[in-house]
Amino acid sequence: MQGSQVGYKSGMVSLIGRPNAGKSTLLNKLIGEKIAIVSDKPQTTRTRITGVLTRPDGQIVFLDTPGIHKPGYALNRRMMAVVTDALSSVDLVLLIVDSTEATGSGDRFVRDMIAKIPTRAFLLVNKIDALRDKSRLLPLIQFYSEAREFAEVIPVSAKTGEGAGLLIDKIVEHLPEGQALFPNDALTDQPERVIAAELVREKILHVTGQELPYVTAVVTERWQEEPEVTRIECVIYVERPSQRPIILGHGGARIKQIGIEARADIERLLGRHVFLKLFVKVREHWRDDERALDELGIHG
């Protein structure tokens, strides 16, 4: 059996960084499947997302995490609890930074956080495909290296995959010997109904611009396998009645677009036909309501 021979490596590796650094894009690239949603809005990822990469010589269990930010609502405190947990309970931390952004107070906050943890870490300088002025790399690396030592510094592009092969080799090199933690064919421990709800949320982020990125949550309420089709019903929660029409759009055009885009992705994920029905409901102040967060599946 793979994973039990001498010299086999295995371990947990967390992806940590500021919102929008490209953590989820990188996870998907490394795993070779879309299991984490991605958007150009900060705070896209809200929970810990596990991605498993199995090779003949080792197994890497990646933990994608929410972007590091100062928490305001109970939602954000839970998101940051996920980050704190993923900093301490792993074999290796990958700190991902956006090479196209100037460093500021958010980066200093991240740098201080990373400085305090004893876990071995790599610094990944991401988005090098979009970096015109390569002379910016060195000061960026120096900025982060002031805080702590990094076992490796690797420029990558989560978008194109540049640097990904080298990164995986280096990760396996640094992991401890051990047996596989997941079956060889596992990609994630997220249930399909959770990924489906997340894909709906991704499309909301995609079609709604800056109006609503933070106030929606999506839950799969019904999942029924039939011979020809899987019937799925998702509920989109917003915080106030005034936000409902923004999701619906003029004459329902926007929710229709969300449904078309999400269904295409869910069909790709499941490899079968999907009938997707979306509902919009108001749940006032869900972001600051611990019970609502439990019910929405957002755990800290």
> Which residues contact ligand GTP (rule: CB under 6 A)?
17, 19-25, 38-40, 42-45, 66-67, 126-127, 129-130, 157-159
> Is the distance from CB of 14 to CB of 30 less than 8 angstroms?
no
Contacts 24+ apart (CB under 8 A), 195-199: 195/35, 195/266, 195/269, 196/220, 196/223, 196/232, 196/234, 196/262, 196/266, 196/269, 197/234, 197/297, 198/36, 198/37, 199/37, 199/262, 199/265, 199/266, 199/269
CB-wise, 23 or 78, nearer to ligand GTP?
23
CB-wise, 39 or 230, nearer to ligand GTP?
39
Distance separating alpha carbons of residues 128 and 121, to the nearest angstrom: 20
Closest separation between CB of residue 70 and ligand GTP, Å?
14
Q: Which x/- pattern, by CB under 5 A, does the window 41-80 give for Mg ion?
A: ---xx-----------------------------------
Closest separation between CB of residue 17 and ligand GTP, Å?
6
DSSP string, 43-73: S---S-EEEEEEETTEEEEEEE-PPP----S
Closest separation between CB of residue 110 and ligand GTP, Å?
11
Closest separation between CB of residue 152 and ligand GTP, Å?
18
When binding is defined by CB under 5 A, the residue of 14, 20, 24, 208 that contacts Mg ion is: 24
CB-wise, 38 or 90, nearer to ligand GTP?
38
**# binding residues, Mg ion (CB under 5 A):** 4
Instruction: Name the β-bridge partners of 278.
Output: 234
CB-wise, 79 or 180, nearer to Mg ion?
79
Edge-to-edge strand order for the sheet containing 217-225?
A: 217-225, 230-238, 274-282
Closest separation between CB of residue 269 and ligand GTP, Å?
18
Closest separation between CB of residue 57 and ligand GTP, Å?
26
> Is the distance from CB of 111 to CB of 79 less than 8 angstroms?
no
CB-wise, 27 or 180, nearer to Mg ion?
27
First to last CA, the chain: 35
Can you give the C-alpha Rg of the chain in angstroms? Answer: 20
Q: Which residue lies nearest ligand GTP, judged by its C-beta?
A: 67
Per CB under 5 A, which region of 40-48, 201-209, 249-257, 282-290 contacts Mg ion? Answer: 40-48
Interface residues with Mg ion (CB under 5 A)?
23-24, 44-45
